[in-house]
Amino acid sequence: MKTLIKGGRVIDPANNIDKIADVLIEDGKIAKVAANIKSAADEVVEADGKIVCPGLIDMHVHLREPGQEAKEDFASGTKAAAAGGYTTVATMPNTNPVVDTAALVRSLQKRAEEAAVVHVEIIGAVTKGQKGEEMAEMGDMTAAGAVAFSDDGHFTKSAKVLLNCYDYLRAFDKVIINHEEEPSLVDEGVMNESHRSAMLGMKGRPTVAEDIAVYRDIALAEYADARVHVAHISSARSVELVREAKKRGVKVTAEVTPQHLTMTDDMVELSDSSTKINPPLRQSKDVEAVLAGLKDGTIDCIVTDHSPHAQEEKDREYIYAPSGFPGLETAVGVLLTDLVDTGKLDIVTMISKMTAEPAKIFVLNAGSLGVGMPADVTVIDPELSWTVDEKKFYTKGSHSPFVGRTLKGKAIKTFVDGQLVMDNGEILEV
């Protein structure tokens, strides 16, 4: 089986490619990337005016299995991923039960084989039950194929526990992804602590809660000479802390979400819980700082923090609604519209942060159009204008703050291992 994607702008940051070229897929692998490939293909995809890039990677999603299938499952979540142009997603372990054993990792891999339309990587818990007390069996989970470890959603309260985990994990060369908010400062908080929260009488989640958490976890990683990945960074000071640490040679990496790159706490409306996320939407100085950090390499990758909840969970009083919203199906459109089209971010950097860079940090066999690589390929139409409509989402989640926005740019084809799984927004049954 040969598929030829013809005449697109091929952006493949892993191989320093940005040129008009054809991509030839053969038997599920990348066979060739060159101008005017003459080959008798079974399928020819005309990609004139389109962007052809490695399949997008999202290292921070919540597919909610096991135990929270009302919010999302592997089928709905990975369809949402394919619809958004993603070919690899890594799912967080804050499920019920928490994914903290090799048996659970293997069972999820099995579920992925049955139900997923894109590649699913499993992130294991750092501590048992994500309680921050006893170390989870990270060695066994590594052997079972866990891609990284995280107590996402929780901050590891004990510095000693985290230091032990850093030390222990060095033998396995895996990364810990830390949710950075010092809990005593964000207790009951529902939005950024700012003028807006003060006016609304809402309890705040101050930037300093993130900053001291980032500082502590970097300091511990530096002390232990361990690797640490800062999840969904959102504050200006935290970006500065990561930048300084990288300069010192600390093995720290960081990720940011489209929402933290484009939205501020002024957008919080009491009647709509869609803007309720952790860490919260910050202020414009923070938005500018995370964007600057993304551009200068302080922040390594873009993730969605796709956090779907059931409609009835989000549809309630703002302060009682759970945090998070589904982001897989809107990320490309939001980034292209608000950052690339406005000239704030170049598209090559954007794609690099969603392909080559996460692949490098998490050592994935993905994120590149190099010959012999799995043919995970995304075709993006940068001109396609579309309106975000929840009814068309594949995710079970609702309450996206982007609903109703008209965006310019969308993934129109997603290939996983050479197989077309999404075409013009429709998931193909394979």
Partner 1 sequence: MDNAKVNLRGKDVLALADFTKEEIQVILESAKEMKNIIHRDIKKVPALRGKSIVTLFYEPSTRTRSSFELAGKYLGADVVNITAGTSSIVKGESLRDTLYTVEAMGVDAIIMRHKAEGAAEYAAKVASPVIINAGDGAHAHPSQGLLNLFTVLEHKGHLEGLKYAILGDITHSRVARSDIQGMRKMGVEVHLAGPKTLMPRFLFEEEGIVVHDNVEDAIKDADVINVLRIQLERQKAGLFPSPREYARIYGLNDKRMALAKDDVLVLHPGPMNKGLEISPMVAYGDHSAIQEQVQNGVAVRMAILTHALTGGNKA
* Residues tagged active-site: 305
**Angle 27-353-382 from CA coordinates, rounded to 5°:** 75
Q: How far apart are CA 162 and CA 156, in angstroms?
A: 6
Stretch that binds partner 1, among 2-10, 44-52, 196-204, 361-369 (CB under 8 A): 196-204
- 173/317 with CB nearer partner 1: 317
Stretch that binds partner 1, among 23-31, 266-274, 389-397, 412-420 (CB under 8 A): 266-274
Q: Measured from the CB of residue 230, what is the shortest distance to partner 1 in angstroms?
A: 25
Binding status of residue 202 toward partner 1 by CB under 8 A: yes
DSSP 23: E
Query: Could you tell me the end-to-end alpha-carbon distance of the chain, in angstroms, rounded to an integer?
Result: 15
Q: How far apart are CA 334 and CA 274, in angstroms?
A: 16
Q: How far apart are CA 139 and CA 125, in angstroms?
A: 11
**Phi and psi (nearest 5°) for 46?**
-80, 125
Please pick, from the candidates 42, 225, 296, 315, the single residue that binds partner 1 as defined by CB under 8 A: 315
Please pick, from the candidates 193, 211, 286, 338, the single residue that binds partner 1 as defined by CB under 8 A: 193
Stretch that binds partner 1, among 92-100, 123-131, 195-203, 326-334 (CB under 8 A): 195-203
- 171/270 with CB nearer partner 1: 270
Binding status of residue 26 toward partner 1 by CB under 8 A: no
- 40/199 with CB nearer partner 1: 199
- 130/194 with CB nearer partner 1: 194
CA distances, 8 to each of 35, 46, 308 (Å): 10, 8, 33
Residue 73: other Cβ atoms inside 10 A:
20
Binding status of residue 269 toward partner 1 by CB under 8 A: yes
**Residue 377: which residues within 8 A CB-CB, separation 6 or more?**
5, 23, 25, 30, 52, 53, 54, 55, 87, 369, 413, 414, 415
Give the interface size with partner 1 as a residue count (CB under 8 A). Answer: 21
Q: Is the peptide bond before 13 cis (omega within 30 degrees of 0)?
A: no
Q: Measured from the CB of residue 311, what is the shortest distance to partner 1 in angstroms?
A: 11
Binding status of residue 198 toward partner 1 by CB under 8 A: yes
Binding status of residue 70 toward partner 1 by CB under 8 A: no
- 318/394 with CB nearer partner 1: 318
Token pair of 397, please? Answer: 């989640």
Binding status of residue 114 toward partner 1 by CB under 8 A: no
In terms of C-beta density within 10 A (0-12 exposed, 13-18 middle, 19 or more buried), how is residue 128 classed? middle
Helical residues (DSSP H) of 9-73, grouped into ranges: none
Q: Measured from the CB of residue 273, what is the shortest distance to partner 1 in angstroms?
A: 8
Please pick, from the candidates 201, 247, 248, 249, the single residue that binds partner 1 as defined by CB under 8 A: 201
3-state secondary structure of 145: coil
**Residue 153: which residues within 8 A CB-CB, separation 6 or more?**
92, 94, 130, 179, 278
Binding status of residue 266 toward partner 1 by CB under 8 A: no
Binding status of residue 271 toward partner 1 by CB under 8 A: yes
Q: Measured from the CB of residue 312, what is the shortest distance to partner 1 in angstroms?
A: 7
CA distances, 415 to each of 187, 198, 247, 314, 429 (Å): 43, 47, 38, 33, 13
Residue 270: other Cβ atoms inside 10 A:
13
Please pick, from the candidates 37, 44, 115, 200, the single residue that binds partner 1 as defined by CB under 8 A: 200
Binding status of residue 134 toward partner 1 by CB under 8 A: no
Residue 221: other Cβ atoms inside 10 A:
23
User: Treating both helix axes as pointing N-terminal to C-terminal, what angle do 102-115 and 74-83 enclose, rounded to 10 degrees?
Assistant: 60
Binding status of residue 172 toward partner 1 by CB under 8 A: no
Q: Measured from the CB of residue 199, what is the shortest distance to partner 1 in angstroms?
A: 7
Binding status of residue 281 toward partner 1 by CB under 8 A: no
User: Treating both helix axes as pointing N-terminal to C-terminal, what angle do 207-224 and 159-169 enclose, rounded to 10 degrees?
Assistant: 40
Please pick, from the candidates 317, 343, 391, 430, the single residue that binds partner 1 as defined by CB under 8 A: 317
Strands 191-192, 252-256: pairing kind: unpaired
Stretch that binds partner 1, among 129-137, 199-207, 329-337, 355-363 (CB under 8 A): 199-207
- 207/337 with CB nearer partner 1: 207
Binding status of residue 404 toward partner 1 by CB under 8 A: no
Binding status of residue 197 toward partner 1 by CB under 8 A: yes
- 36/271 with CB nearer partner 1: 271
Binding status of residue 400 toward partner 1 by CB under 8 A: no
Binding site for partner 1 (CB under 8 A): 193-195, 197-202, 206, 269-272, 312, 315-320
